[in-house]
């Protein structure tokens, strides 16, 4: 397997061909901002509150915590965990029903078409594909299942389930360095290529032989340029940023 040369890809076709021509055996994808446009974790939080899934007293608390997170007073790991722990006491079946409704209306329309094409091409080549996210596992499993990534290949923030009911006991924290740690524990082969869009994907990108930022934010873009990593900006993301 050869390494990708530095620089951006010229087109969606160039991107998909460039990756599949590597014939990777194992690939890992971040989800929010990488497979689709937007932050599904944040969106789901506000959506499930509006839809009445979260009790009012818990709602008041988590909204204050999220404001504190946005102000820089709560860590990324803490808020990612708390956004899942707020489901304590809710039947998991009900949470999954809400997640399915949310994904249908708020995630599926925003998938990057070239990322969907890439996953399909890699699947046909027999590549072992993993989805890694700091968003809750219910949303991520529902979303990536639509493009053929099975639940057994999802590493996302989750809580322990007891007798079908969500608890407040966290499982593995798949945020920041936790993404790479989770992959290292799960993989039986080396990681050939990984995809991410933010600084919180850095360790996961570094774990792969071919790190490939997709839709990178400014800090990850600078790192890609400094390290000579190849990167890709989806056409939909380019259009979105140009109209802001």
DSSP code per residue over 118-143: HHHHHHHTT-EEEEEEEEEHHHHHHH
Q: How far apart are CA 39 and CA 101, in angstroms?
A: 16
Lowest mean pLDDT among 23-27, 137-141, 223-227: 223-227
Confidence category of residue 243, pLDDT binned at 50, 70, 90:
very low
Average pLDDT over residues 20-30: 97
CB-based contacts of 218, cutoff 8 Å, min separation 6: none
Model confidence at 226: pLDDT above 80: yes
Average pLDDT over residues 126-153: 98
Angle subtended by helix axes 113-124 and 12-20, to nearest 10: 20
Confidence category of residue 7, pLDDT binned at 50, 70, 90:
low
Model confidence at 238: pLDDT above 70: no
Model confidence at 2: pLDDT above 50: no
Q: Which long-range contacts (CB under 8 A, 24 or more apart) does 214-220 make?
A: 214/34, 214/112, 214/115, 215/33, 215/34, 215/37, 215/112, 217/33, 220/196
Model confidence at 187: pLDDT above 50: yes
Average pLDDT over residues 214-235: 92
Q: How far apart are CA 154 and CA 21, in angstroms?
A: 24
pTM metric for this prediction: 0.93
Q: Write down the pLDDT at residue 132.
A: 98
Rg, C-alpha atoms of the chain: 18
CATH code for the part of the protein at 7-242: 3.40.50.1000
Q: Write down the pLDDT at residue 237.
A: 63
Model confidence at 202: pLDDT above 60: yes
Average pLDDT over residues 121-139: 98
Q: Write down the pLDDT at residue 100.
A: 98
| Domain range list for the chain | 7-242
Model confidence at 45: pLDDT above 80: yes
Of 33, 68, 27, the closest CA to residue 194 belongs to 27
E strand or H helix at 146, and its extent? Answer: none
Average pLDDT over residues 99-113: 97
């Amino acid at each position: 397997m050869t390494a990708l040369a530095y620089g951006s890809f010229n087109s969606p076709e160039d991107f998909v061909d460039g990756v599949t021509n590597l014939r990777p055996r194992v690939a890992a994808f971040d989800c929010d901002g990488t497979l689709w446009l937007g932050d599904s974790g944040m969106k789901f939080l506000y959506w499930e509150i509006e839809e009445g899934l979260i009790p009012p007293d818990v709602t008041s608390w988590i909204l204050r915590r999220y404001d504190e997170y946005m102000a820089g007073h709560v860590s990324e790991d803490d808020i990612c965990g708390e956004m899942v722990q707020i489901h304590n006491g809710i039947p998991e079946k009900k949470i999954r029903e809400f997640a399915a409704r949310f994904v249908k209306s708020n995630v599926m329309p925003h998938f990057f078409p070239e990322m969907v094409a890439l996953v399909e091409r890699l699947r046909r080549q027999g590549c072992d594909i993993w989805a890694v996210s700091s968003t809750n596992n219910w949303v991520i499993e529902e979303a990536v299942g639509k493009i053929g990534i099975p639940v057994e290949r999802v590493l996302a923030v989750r809580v322990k389930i007891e007798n079908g009911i969500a608890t407040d006991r966290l499982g593995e924290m798949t945020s920041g360095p936790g993404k790479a740690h989770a992959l290292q524990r799960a993989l039986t082969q080396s990681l050939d290529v990984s995809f991410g869009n933010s600084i919180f994907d850095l360790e996961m990108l570094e774990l792969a032989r071919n790190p490939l930022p997709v839709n990178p934010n400014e800090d990850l873009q600078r790192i890609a340029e400094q390290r000579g990593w190849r990167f890709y900006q989806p056409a939909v993301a380019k259009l979105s940023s140009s109209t802001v």
